Amino acid sequence: MTRDDLKRFQALDIDFSAIGLEWGGQFCDYFCTPIDAEPVGAIGCDGVHFILLPGDERVFCVDPAMGEEGKFVLPAAGDFREFLSFVVFCRDANPLSQIWWMDEARFRQLLREDAERTWPGCEEYFTRNNAALSAIAREFDLAPADPFEKVKALQASFDPSVLRFSDEYYDVLGLERPQ
């Protein structure tokens, strides 16, 4: 179901960059992107991107700047529809990439700051953002879902030893390759 939903999502006529989920040429492989990862989208900053893994319905966040073994790849949702409901709630994918290091008060502050942020020409961005979020909610019949507790629980119970990485991962981190 998740992969079918991903195809439906990618076929939407929306501005993916307006919700922090650029894909296609914007997706980059990084040293910490697991082997056989399937791209979902990239926030367009610092190499942060979301992926699916073979045989797994969960959506994962890959963040090359997380800076420590076991934290470069963490679950961001139990499945793709849940992920989209979190994006609709947050109004962008970026806050989902930051939950791992935040307490709840800081996460809520981030969402408030994002909602209050303005700049010259922001009206066009907000129009594209609202259109994309509305199209997603309509296409998948989704309601916004607060991600904080669910994502924290997924991340707390996640065992990163299930991830498979390229030789580059071990070289960059100076780690022994598992046998």
Query: pLDDT, tens digit, for every residue of 3-62?
Result: 999 999 999 999 999 999 997 655 678 999 999 999 999 998 889 999 999 999 999 999
65 inside domain: yes
Q: What is the mean pLDDT of residues 143-162?
A: 97
Q: What is the pLDDT of residue 19?
A: 97
158 within some domain: no
Asked if 16 contacts 23 with a C-beta cutoff of 8 angstroms, the reply is: yes
pLDDT given at position 23: 78
Q: Is residue 177 part of a domain?
A: no
Let me know if residue 69 belongs to a domain: yes
Question: Residue 76: inside a domain, yes or no?
Answer: yes
User: Are the beta carbons of 62 and 41 closer than 8 angstroms?
Assistant: no
Count structural domains, the chain: 1
For residue 131, tell me if it sits in a domain.
yes
Q: Over the chain, what is the mean pLDDT?
A: 93
Q: Residue 32: which domain range? A: 2-153
Within a 10 A sphere around the Cβ of 8, how many other Cβ atoms? Answer: 13
In DSSP notation, the chain reads -HHHHHHHHHTS-S-GGGGT-B-GGG----TTSPTT-EEEEE-SSTT-EEEE-TT---EEEE-TTS-STTTSEEEEESSHHHHHHHHHHHTSSHHHHHGGG--HHHHHHHHHHHHH---TTHHHHHHHHHHHHHHHHHHHT------HHHHHHHHHT--GGG----HHHHHHHT-PPP-
Residue 33: the pLDDT is 94
Asked if the structure places residue 161 within a domain, the reply is: no
Determine, yes or no, domain membership for 171: no
pLDDT tens-digit map of 154-173: 999 999 999 999 999 999 99
